[in-house]
Amino acid sequence: MPFVADILKHRSLSIVGLEKNTGKTVCLNYILRRLNELRVHVGVTSIGVDGEQVDSVFATAKPEITLYEGTHFITSEKHYLVRQAVSELVAVDSRRTSLGPLVTARVLVPGKVLLSGAATTGALREQIKAFDSMGVDLSIVDGALSRLSLASPTVTEAMILATGAAVSPNVKQLISKTKHLYRLVNLEEVDSATQTKLNGIESGLWAIDEQGTTHDLGVQSVFLLGSESGNLLRHETTLFVAGAVSDRLLKLLTPQKSGITLIARDFTKIFATPEVYTDFLRRGHRMQVLQRSKLIAVTLNPTSPQGYLLDSKSTCEALSEALQTPVYDVKQIEQ
């Protein structure tokens, strides 16, 4: 059972896709089935809507989510009422969503469900804590398009990255896009002393001098930066961005003297394009993170909703070689 043993070392897991239709639900079903065989008590929720029979964009068939006896799950009232599993109600959240209040339930008889959970990472953290109080061994958060935030180490301990032909039917482009995100996920984590100093800073751009003292540079957002960046380095060449790391910031810093260390909170805060990020590194600079995400596995869906089909074996091998890590086609594992 590839990568399931690694999952069991953690209390929470997110499944995120590089694009829509990269096989997140197939991967989720594989994990749920294996964990059920191992009698692991699982809690499941989502940051979007998942488990639909038909894709809302491409009108193609999609795999549904099957939950097993004893599994706790959180979904909206609307989707709870159309579940095919038999379950008992555990809790109803007083806060409402556009689909009604969020409902927590426990499966009594296995069946299919639609998941529609929290809209914010803060709410996800609360839900994971609630699962913990119910005796859940592992909380799984299923992702939605462009919502990498749930993979932040401040939300879940570990993550799985799903990629595939939906990202690009061209293998070289698929590898390039996947490799960029993979590099960000695996950025070096700062030392514990620096982590302690910076963890409490919620906003702005900060410098760290040779003595380890932090200096507020008076920039509340990198999006408010002007064209002059030299003053940002008046204290030293180590900078911490509490919010988003943008192309604009990297373009301002790249021409400066080499040796700049730029620290982001975690990889989900980095929105730089591959070209700009690579140019930043080529000039002798480096990027670090306060907290590094634990990537459990990379999975591949060789089929795109437009009908493109990549060769599963050769594409997995090419991706694995480029990333220097195993890449799995979950459907092939099960055959």
* Pick from 245, 242, 324, 325: nearest CA to 285: 245
Q: Could you tell me which residues come within 8 angstroms of residue 219 by beta carbon, excluding any fewer than 6 positions away?
A: 204, 205, 225, 232
Judged by DSSP in three states, 252 sits in: helix
The structure tokens listed for 38 are: 């191992």
Q: Which residues does the chain have with pLDDT short of 70?
A: 1, 48-62, 144-147, 224, 226-230, 334-335
Token pair for residue 242? 């509490």
Closest by alpha carbon to 300, among 270, 262, 326, 271?
326
pLDDT of the residue at 98: 82
Determine the longest span between alpha carbons in the chain, in angstroms. Answer: 64
What Cα–Cα distance (Å) separates residue 4 from each residue in 13, 57, 151, 201? 11, 31, 18, 36
Give me the pLDDT at residue 225, please: 73
* Calculated CA dihedral for residues 111, 112, 114, 117, nearest 10 degrees: 50
- Using alpha carbons only, what angle is made at residue 266 by residues 163 and 294, rounded to the nearest 5 degrees? 55
Q: What is the pLDDT of residue 222?
A: 75
> Does the model's pTM come out above 0.85?
yes
* Domains of the chain, start order: 4-186+293-333 (3.40.50), 192-289 (3.40.140)
* 241 SS3 class: strand
**Alpha-carbon gap, residue 283 to 254, rounded angstroms:** 7
Which pLDDT belongs to residue 212? 87
Which residue type, as a one-letter code, is found at position 80?
Y
The predicted pLDDT at position 211 comes to 87
Contact 306, 58 (CB under 8 A): yes
Q: How do residues 100-154 score in pLDDT, each as one tens digit?
A: 899 999 999 999 999 987 778 888 899 999 999 999 999 999 876 555 777 788 8
Q: Report the pLDDT value the prediction gives residue 228, as an integer from 0 to 100.
A: 55
Three-class secondary structure of residue 22 per DSSP = coil
- What CA–CA distance (Å, rounded) separates 261 from 148? 24
How far is the C-alpha of 316 from the C-alpha of 29, rounded, in Å? 20
158-167 b/e with 16+ CB inside 10 Å = b? bbbbbbbbbb
Work out the angle at residue 282's Cα, subtended by the Cα atoms of residues 281 and 288, and round it to the nearest 5 degrees.
Answer: 15
What's residue 48's pLDDT?
67
